[in-house]
Amino acid sequence: MDLCLTGKTALVTGGSKGIGRAAAAALAAEGVALTLIARSAGPLGEAAEAIRTTAQVSIRTIAADLSRQDEIERLAAAVPTPDILVNNAGAIPPGGLAAVDDAAWRRAWDLKVFGYISLTRLIHARMTERGSGVIVNVIGAAGEKFDPDYITGSAGNAALMAFTRALGRASHAHGIRVAGINPGPVETERLVMLSRARAEKSLGDASRWRELYARMPFGRPALAAEIGAAVAFLASPRSAYTNATILTIDGGG
């Protein structure tokens, strides 16, 4: 299916690996020119080169720490207003209320929660002036399936779900769609980290983390490419009436 995205531009945060890189690859395959954002220039360059081998599109990379407001403002000033903004950067640690102290909680939310909100505020204002745009927030299923052992992530994701829906309910008046994706477990480096922590707690041995896959729908986590394809579809004119909506992709678990 042609998603009718050829010639569009996208800004993808957390674009050097995992879901962000997969979303970038899916958009590039549809002819979208990319600006990829992550903290480290090296992995960003590697991701860009890998995508260029399969898609003949312009790819720009910018290293930026989106947990810092000054870096968000620097990024926004450095790029033209994109047709598509994909908010994906973020890593919230596991742990219950007693295990995650205030400093760790704030660091995690500065990147994922306030990072999404602050960058969206700047890009959304420019999309409003232009009268068009799409924002896709990659959030996480913990925002609807509350996990006491991932309390920082559950609370943060729930906040971003509300943010996505509330913003979308007003943005359509300016020609802007806002949608979110709640992935369940996805086979990324981050999943391995979280699975090792859960295996240590439930099985007494972090090295047995693969055994936890047996409990998942279809006996596996999602692939990053499966989530990336959903990002591209939601960002496309094929999904032009999808707004203020969260798509859960968790295998039905």
Encode pLDDT of 52-95 as tens digits: 999 999 999 999 999 999 999 999 999 999 999 999 999 898 89
The residue written with tokens 């596991």 in the block is 94
DSSP letter string over 61-105? EEE--TTSHHHHHHHHHHSPPPSEEEE----PPPB-TTTS-HHHH
8 Å CB contact between 143 and 160? yes
Which phi-psi region, left, alpha or beta, contains residue 101 (left: φ > 0; alpha: ψ -120 to 50)? beta
pLDDT given for residue 192 in this prediction: 85
Q: Residue 215 — pLDDT band, cuts 50, 70, 90? A: confident
pLDDT given for residue 198 in this prediction: 82
Indicate the fold that domain 9-186+222-249 takes in CATH: Rossmann fold (3.40.50)
Rounded CA-CA distance 156/163 in Å is 10
8 Å CB contact between 80 and 51? no
Domain boundaries, the chain: 9-186+222-249
What sign for the dihedral angle of Cα 35, 221, 235, 32? positive
pLDDT given for residue 91 in this prediction: 87
DSSP run (H or E) holding 10 = strand 9-13
8-state DSSP, 213: G
